[in-house]
Structure 1
Amino acid sequence: MPMDSKDKRTAKNKHFIASLEFALQGIKTVFKEERNMRTHVLMGGATIIVGIILRLAISEWLWLLLAIFLVLVMEIINTVFENVVDMVTDFHFHPIGKKIKDMAAGAVLLTSGFAVVVGVLLFVPKIWQIIQDFL
């Protein structure tokens, strides 16, 4: 059933490939529009390179990748909340909108803290061992 031009509803997407294209467009959009996302991707890439250099074990890779992807997912969710608040408030300040944005940003901060802890637990002992072997 074709939608009338006055009907602003969107139809549910029923094709996997189309769904995949929309999801990839969403990732591309957040990467393009959000400086923090680009920073998280850069830092995640750097930690992956360090992990390769330090020859992480498979269990260590699982923790590292979990931390990296949690931060990226939380940044996407944070961006979604920011955009929804801006849309609903038409970019005008609203105290509840501020609370929502602050809480979403706090979720990214907590997840980033978790990622730092994982990085410290994985990398510091290995780097310390390299330093001891060198001396």
Structure 2
Amino acid sequence: MVRHLEAGDELVLKEKKTGKHRRITLNKAVIASIQALLKSRDYDDGDHLFLGQRGCLTVSSVNRLVKTWCAEINLKGNYGSHSLRKTFGFHQRTTYGVGIAELMCTFNHSSQKQTLNYLCIQDEEIRNIYMNEL
């Protein structure tokens, strides 16, 4: 199913929590990673790409993996699978200048305020406004 995807192609996923559909556009890095994974072992077209010890990966199994990786490198803090999503959003906003409205749609949030609170950047941006000099 993913074997012939190219950069720019989209996947449509249905979120379990909200039941909403999400369109995800795949970039070159994702396609290269998928192709490398497909070469790493034999996959049939219907197989799940990512498997845990008990079958298909779940949010809780990814959460455990992130916590294990952080512990292995002695990273202090409480990180989990949700940290990956928030970090993605934070860097889209601060590094690439993606607008709050676009991130709101990406995260399926119902308001821009919810997205600002989610990314924990509102206070920082307000402080920076006051630091601007003419």
Answer 1 or 2: higher relative contact order, Cα 8 Å, separation at least 6.
1
Which TM-score band (shorter chain)? under 0.3
Larger radius of gyration: 1
Task: Report the TM-score, using the length of structure 2 for normalisation.
Answer: 0.27
Query: Higher helix fraction: Structure 1 or Structure 2?
Result: 1
Task: Report the TM-score, using the length of structure 1 for normalisation.
Answer: 0.27
Query: Higher strand fraction: Structure 1 or Structure 2?
Result: 2
